[in-house]
Amino acid sequence: MKNFDLIIIGAGRASNLAAKAGKMGKKVAIIEKSKLGGTCPNRGCVPSKLLIGYAHVARAIKESDRHFIDSSINSINVEKIFEETNNYVSKIDPVYKKKFNENVEVIYGTGKFVSNNIISVNGEQLTAPKIVIATGTKAIEAPHPKAWTSDNIFPLKGTIPKSITIVGSGFIACELANFFAAVGIQTKLLVRSQRILGNEDSDISAIFKEEFVKNVDILFDTSIDKIEYKDKQFNLELLNKDNQKTHHTSQALLYATGRESNTNSLDLQNTDIEVNDRGYIKRDKFFETKAKGVYVVGDASGEHMLQHAAAQEVNHLGKILLEDEKEPLKFKYMPHGVFTEPEIASVGITEQKAKEQGISYVTSITPWLASAKAMSTRLKYPRTKLIINPNTYEILGCHMIGPESTTMMHQVLAVMHLDNDIRHLKEMLYIHPALSEALLPAAVESVKAVEDYNKDK
């Protein structure tokens, strides 16, 4: 039996905790069954966003006639795009390894619980007073062995397909469809219902749908009934809601139909650790599971499924375990982005949720065109939707659709972080006529909506 001060299972965001504990002189074992760095840099946020840059340039050229510029693309070297992305991904594991000092032992293998405080990996047993589970999630398996998921598309190896069918309606499906379509790969997105990005505020997802169908060929109310792979091609039988069947072929097939818990690899039945009905590990407000001294952070808890949330949780757990932090982590807000064209940024509740919860709220939905910089994009759809508590002026939700909305959102986040009151966004000074200035009329309208609400009371 090998003894450590800390064992970490899963080297995604929790790599930072291993590095910190090692620097503080703790003896740490970090167990990883795949690559150090985990999902985000190897097959998640980073490679998918690196691709967006190429898509963005290709689309700007294709749409240049909006600015009265006649241009065309001669060729796109998609092989090179993937080579560059793969180069990045191939450096991740060694870069992460360099973060660790001699106190950290990296063990490649699948960690499993033998009991509450004993882990087995590669036939060896390890123990520590503190064990951290940070095993993330995995893509829901594709129903055909030749089909990809977002877990095995990166690094994209071999011949680049000339055509791809993508199944899904969430942000991963949309981001990848956006890229493939933009760089000239014949792309078809299959969406089971009429809803796309269904978790977004419904006003925003309606605008998204209207614009996105201009960029990507989408079949709504459609699923795959039969898959055959022959002569390096998928022959798909598609079924729509009226039970009509059609045939479609493509060289590649990608399923982006969701992610699920990774916990089945952990042999949790040997412990007191409990999982919820979706298979995610239950924890208390200090991240501790039902087994004393065993903690869970990041996607493995099934709570936020976002890199920035996982990173903050890992950081806070480090303070609890290594610096005697006594306070639990409370996220004041949880933003996210969808890096497609159009781009979306969102924080807080949607109007649907506000209705469901029966809370008092007012809304405003404001075009960006008051900003000359926004006008210069010659796009008419960009909007900011605000959902405000009319009794306190608190921003309950903000949803934006438009270029750089994920960047624009940070000024709303700063207000929410410091002193959440929409009036700050109305009163602050903006650089004229920056894109961010589009938030000024949005703030003015929502403050007016609050005043009207209170006048009518």
How far apart CA 15 and CA 130 sit, in angstroms, is: 15
Site string for ligand FAD, 223-252 (x = CB under 6 A): ------------------------------
Do residues 38 and 13 touch, judged by C-beta distance below 8 A? Answer: yes
By CB under 6 A, residue 315 contacts ligand FAD? no
The reply on whether position 310 binds ligand FAD by CB under 6 A is yes
Member of 7, 18, 134, 408 binding ligand FAD (CB under 6 A) = 134
Nearer to ligand FAD, 109 or 143 (CB): 109
Q: Which one of 4, 28, 44, 364 is in contact with ligand FAD (CB under 6 A)?
A: 44
**Does residue 40 interact with ligand FAD by CB under 6 A?**
yes
Considering the rule CB under 6 A, would residue 60 count as an interface residue with ligand FAD?
no
DSSP label at residue 32 = E
- Measured from the Cβ of residue 225, the count of other Cβ atoms closer than 10 Å reads 13
The nearer residue to ligand FAD, 12 or 22, going by C-beta atoms, is 12
Interface with ligand FAD (CB under 6 A), residue total: 34
With CA atoms as reference, report the closest residue to 154 among 15, 34, 261: 34
Contacts of 331 (CB under 8 A, 6+ apart): 304, 309, 312
Kindly tell me which residue out of 7, 266, 281, 438 binds ligand FAD, with binding defined by CB under 6 A.
Answer: 266
Q: Which is nearer to ligand FAD, 154 or 361 (CB)?
A: 154
- Our finding on whether 302 is near ligand FAD (CB under 6 A) is no
Residue spans of alpha helices (H) in 347-404: 351-357, 372-375
For residue 403, give the DSSP letter.
T
A 10 A CB-CB count for 101 gives: 12
Give yes or no for residue 16 binding ligand FAD (CB under 6 A).
no
Task: Read off the amino acid at residue 193.
Answer: S
CB 394 within 8 A of CB 420: yes
- Nearer Cβ to ligand FAD, position 122 or 194? 122
Part in contact with ligand FAD (CB under 6 A); list of ranges 97-105, 213-221, 295-303, 429-437: 295-303
Nearest approach in angstroms of CB 260 to ligand FAD is: 12
CB 271 within 8 A of CB 294: yes
CA dist., res. 257 & res. 134, Å (int): 22
Please report how the helices 405-418 and 439-455 are oriented relative to each other, as an axis angle in degrees rounded to 10.
50
Question: CB of residue 377 vs ligand FAD: minimum separation in angstroms?
Answer: 22
Token pair of 172 as six digits: 């991963």
Q: Which x/- pattern, by CB under 6 A, does the window 91-130 give for ligand FAD?
A: -------------------xx-------------------
Cα angle for residues 129, 131, 134 (degrees, 5° grid)? 170
Question: Of the candidates 18, 117, 136, 396, which one interacts with ligand FAD according to CB under 6 A?
Answer: 136
Unique residue bearing structure tokens 């007073």: 129
Q: Which of 13, 188, 399, 426 binds ligand FAD (CB under 6 A)?
A: 13
Q: Is 48 in the site for ligand FAD (CB under 6 A)?
A: yes
Closest to ligand FAD by CB, 111 or 441: 111
- Gap between the Cα atoms of 423 and 351, Å rounded: 20
**Calculated CA dihedral for residues 97, 100, 102, 103, nearest 10 degrees:** -130
- Binding stretches for ligand FAD (CB under 6 A): 9-14, 31-34, 38-40, 44-45, 48, 110-111, 134-136, 150, 172, 262, 265-266, 298-300, 305-308, 310
